Amino acid sequence: MPETPVHTIMSRPFMNGSECCIARCPYPGNLYFIAFARAYGMACSRLLDIINCTTCGPEMLELSESKRPLVWFDSFMNRMDFSSDPFHPEGHLAALLKVDPPVIKLTGRKKYMYADEGGAREASEVEILLPEESLARVCYLCRGTEYNYGDARFERLPGTSGYQSLYVCEYCASMCKLRKWIAETAANRRLKSVQSKTPHSNCRGIRFLIDLGLFGPPC
């Protein structure tokens, strides 16, 4: 059964209709951000804005009555005085609230947030309306973000679920398997070498690669 695709925001006026998405990064903890959903040659980065830059952390997410995440919308771009966005002079919160179908909604609660960048700012609490499966996934190893095309999505790690899920991209997953195979092969050949009391040249070669740091411990 195919997985739910990444929800793509293509609604004007947000980013003039460019394909965008909302993602959740597990580090430093439940950091929600807006990114381009695909590669654009004119963009120096896919990252557009961090939604909750002052309240992301390892604590469990507060959920609404509908079991959806509640976050304080404190924009990184506004704090860094990058708010002179030609598409959204009113700010990303106002622009996101105009997206159809809606992706966030206001809860009505507000409070002041404090940070070195920007000092005290009034933040509005918003409910993320997108289910976890519709958010772009972030690899917990390389922190790469999914695109909205292609059939394969980042793999969910066993033992994680819901809005506390962790994911790994195909490249990092393959590297973990390779490291594990090399470590297991080296261990098996060392054992055989000890049992036969004769050194094994291939084992020494693999051990040399591990000592050089080309392959780390198995994930």
Write the pLDDT tens digit of every residue in 175-218: 887 777 777 777 776 656 555 554 444 444 444 444 545 444 44
Measured between alpha carbons, how far apart are the two ends of the chain, in Å? 28
Write the pLDDT tens digit of every residue in 48-85: 888 988 887 766 788 999 999 999 998 887 777 654 55
**Alpha-carbon distance 73 to 150, whole Å?**
31
**What's the confidence (pLDDT) of residue 126?**
96
User: What percentage of the chain reaches a pLDDT higher than 70?
Assistant: 77
More confident site: 41 or 11: 41
Q: What is the pTM of this model?
A: 0.74
Write the pLDDT tens digit of every residue in 14-42: 677 788 999 998 877 788 999 998 888 77
